[in-house]
Amino acid sequence: MKKVLITGASKGIGEKLALKYLKEGYFVINLSRSAPKYDISKHITCDITDSKNLDLAFEIIDEEIGGIDLLINNAGLGMYESWLESEINEIRKLFELNFFSVIEITKKFLPMIKENRGSVVNISSVAGKVHLPYMGAYSASKFALSAFSNSLRAELQEDGVNVLDVIVGRVDTSFSDSVFGAKRSPKTPFVDSPEVLAEKIFRAEQNRRREIVFPRWYSFMIFLSKLLPSLYDRESIKKWKEANG
């Protein structure tokens, strides 16, 4: 039986990923502060930004489970605020969870993954491909994450390990309920389901894809932002101002 470790699988995208991999016969391990409200193979209560917590989790997985084949770095946090009004301590917390914890977890479990010629899946964002006003700190953390994914993939090519960079747009989860900052995000007319995303990620990981964009129409937004950057900036700012009065 193959084993997958997912961070933040208690809710949202992580929960749907865990349910998908359970359905496919995987042994699923969740690392998060709160236990999921569904049956999972193994839950380990863990603050993934705390190195001592991660050391204990690693020992449990190594000794009791015997390693993993797949790591899905899913846990993350958002911020809706201007750079001027952003609190530096909140930006640091954002990077600790969205970027530095991903690096630490991946480095810790990579020898197991290499041994099994498995995969690493990093849940990034459209904000990691195109800058977003009033989401600058979040965008910066996801740009860093995508750069990590792409450079890590190149380094692991000869080891038979794939790294999938998942570029996620607006999905129907409670993500916006727990973000830093005082701004409100503009509404998006097309919001897809986390269940569909989990299916897409599973297939992409099985096929050892490099990257997927979900929902797919965000590919056009990314293209447009590069083709007409001034227009993109004006329209983006306009939508944020409308959403925030």
Catalytic residues: 138
Q: Say how far apart CA 201 and CA 17 lie, in whole Å.
A: 8
Q: Say how far apart CA 74 and CA 121 lie, in whole Å.
A: 8
In sequence order, the 6+-apart residues with CB closer than 8 A to the CB of 226 are: 130
Q: Say how far apart CA 207 and CA 236 lie, in whole Å.
A: 35
In sequence order, the 6+-apart residues with CB closer than 8 A to the CB of 29 are: 3, 4, 5, 6, 40, 41, 42, 43, 44, 61, 65, 68
Two tokens, residue 2: 């193959």
Two tokens, residue 24: 């496919």
